[in-house]
Amino acid sequence: MPDTRSTHLQNLIARVAQGDRLAFDGLYQATSAQLNAICLSVLRDRREAEEVLEQVYIQIWKTAKGFADSGLSPKAWLFITARDLAIGRLRHGEAPAPPVDTVLTRAPSDPVAAVRHAYLQGLDAAGFAQRTGLSVETARQRLHEGLAGMAAEFDGPDDALAAELALGLTDSKGDAARLSADPAFAQRLRDWQERLAVLMDDLTPVMAPARARQRIRESLGHGVAPLSVDPLEKTPWWRGWGATLVAGLIAAAGLYLWMT
């Protein structure tokens, strides 16, 4: 049975790739609450998350043509885009570290739960160690065990490496050449990206403020018709049924005057 939501998102992204502003608006309406939740999970600050969300949709508009070649599902492509930008803002020092009361007080004893925490909070082994009080080596080992547990067991060293790349335990820059030259390894990485992206379904969607959508429009030059009215905002009465009523009254008055 086909996934109708996935098909809908795929169609919207394909139309966005062609420069369709209405499709872009529909994509924002369908996914912004989930992507905002991802940004919040990593950054733990509403204002920072809002700013990253704006960057996410600007990037989606600019890179939608590359979605078809990514080999990812629409949901995974969108989720990973948001998570990567949020992590980049945090790791490059553009956003403050999460406050103390939001960090883990102890490491989850279940390695799979440890992977979930690390993935949803955008943590590498060093970050997970800092949040939990573990040594970096112990943190890396626990996350490695959690990845293995998610797949029952690794299917060889390439599978383990692909899993660590997807989680961010290994620097992907050193493996960029291999990903281009080894389609089988690239597919392993995509499989792990899909598997981990499912974890983001656990996040409760958080609606972004309307100003975020407006700033995205302004940044992309979409602030004019046909997107001058935000579909997430209520339509003024005089633009909806009110306009129809006024037009009807004017027509009736004209007919009356003509007949008298």
- Tens digit of each residue's pLDDT (9 = 90 or more) over 72-107: 999 999 999 999 999 999 887 655 666 544 445 566
Distance CA 172, CA 174 (A): 5
Residue ranges of alpha helices (H) inside 44-135 are 46-63, 74-91, 111-120, 125-132
The CATH number of the structural domain formed by 4-228 is: 1.10.1740.10
User: Which sequence spans correspond to the domains of the chain?
Assistant: 4-228, 236-260
Distance CA 33, CA 129 (A): 30
Report, as ranges of residue numbers, the positions in the chain whose pLDDT lies below 70: 1-2, 93-107, 171-174, 176, 224-260
Q: What is the pTM of this model?
A: 0.80
The b-or-e profile of 55-68 (16+ CB within 10 A means b, else e) is bbbeebbeebeebe
List Cβ neighbours of 84 (8 Å cut-off, separation of 6 or more).
none
